[in-house]
Amino acid sequence: MTRQLKLLHADAETALYEFERKNRDYFEAFIPSRGDDFYQPDVFTKRLGQLLAEQEQGEDRYYLYYDDQTLIGRMNLTNITAEGQAEAGYRIGAEAAGNGAATAGLALLLLEAEQAGLTTITARATATNPASVKVLERNGFIQYDTESLVWNGMKDKLHHYKRHLNMKRPSRS
């Protein structure tokens, strides 16, 4: 089993589209829907073009996460600033969930961030997604804020996390 990140590229459109369609219901159990339009082929193609343009401009870095040759997730660094800050985000498909794939993928993303010269990474996770909270904490993220939100008609808490790079990870108790 070889897990790796590959920078998003136009040739991955078909695999990415199928991954998103296949995992739509699974993702929408944890995060707000992207809406029906997102899953229309022409809209998806246009959105992919926008992501690639943002990546080309250095605003964001989008990665596809593979286990051997199988696409199992997406890892993103968005809102990259000149001061070395960015926000991490990720999606792991249902078939890869629960076996450490998210924790390992985020660790790979943090290595990419360090190699890109970033120094501070933020992330968010809802209280109703404790698995995501664990992934962040296992990768050295510290919660620094919480806000209330409503999505899918339900109240929830959105926890904000931060991780400083090029620093030793906090030891676990």
pLDDT tens digits, residue range 92-124? 887 888 889 999 999 999 999 999 999 999 999
Instruction: Determine the pLDDT at residue 36.
Output: 62
**What is the distance between the alpha carbons of residues 113 and 124, in angstroms, rounded to a whole number?**
17
pLDDT above 90 covers a percentage of the chain that reads 54
Q: Whole-number mean pLDDT of the chain?
A: 87
At residue 35 the predicted structure's pLDDT band, cuts being 50, 70 and 90, is low
> How many angstroms from the chain centroid is the CA of residue 12?
17
Question: Phi/psi at 149 (nearest 5 deg)?
Answer: -150, 165
**What is the distance between the alpha carbons of residues 119 and 138, in angstroms, rounded to a whole number?**
18
**What is the distance between the alpha carbons of residues 165 and 145, in angstroms, rounded to a whole number?**
19
Instruction: Determine the pLDDT at residue 172.
Output: 46
Instruction: Determine the pLDDT at residue 97.
Output: 83
Sign for the pseudo-dihedral over CA of 121, 67, 51, 156: negative
pTM of the predicted model as reported, rounded to 2 decimal places: 0.84
User: In the 8-state DSSP scheme, what is residue 98?
Assistant: T
At residue 17 the predicted structure's pLDDT band, cuts being 50, 70 and 90, is confident
pLDDT 10s digits, 150-164:
876 778 899 999 999
* Triad 172, 79, 151: Cα angle to 5°: 75
The number of C-alpha atoms within 13 Å of 169 and in the hemisphere containing its C-beta is 12
User: What integer is the mean pLDDT of 54-74?
Assistant: 92
At residue 40 the predicted structure's pLDDT band, cuts being 50, 70 and 90, is confident
Instruction: Determine the pLDDT at residue 19.
Output: 81
SS3 label, residue 71: strand
User: In the 8-state DSSP scheme, what is residue 18?
Assistant: H
* Domains and their CATH numbers in the chain: 3-164 (3.40.630.30)
SS3 label, residue 145: strand
Which of 23, 10, 30, 46 minimizes the C-alpha distance to 125?
Answer: 30
At residue 171 the predicted structure's pLDDT band, cuts being 50, 70 and 90, is very low
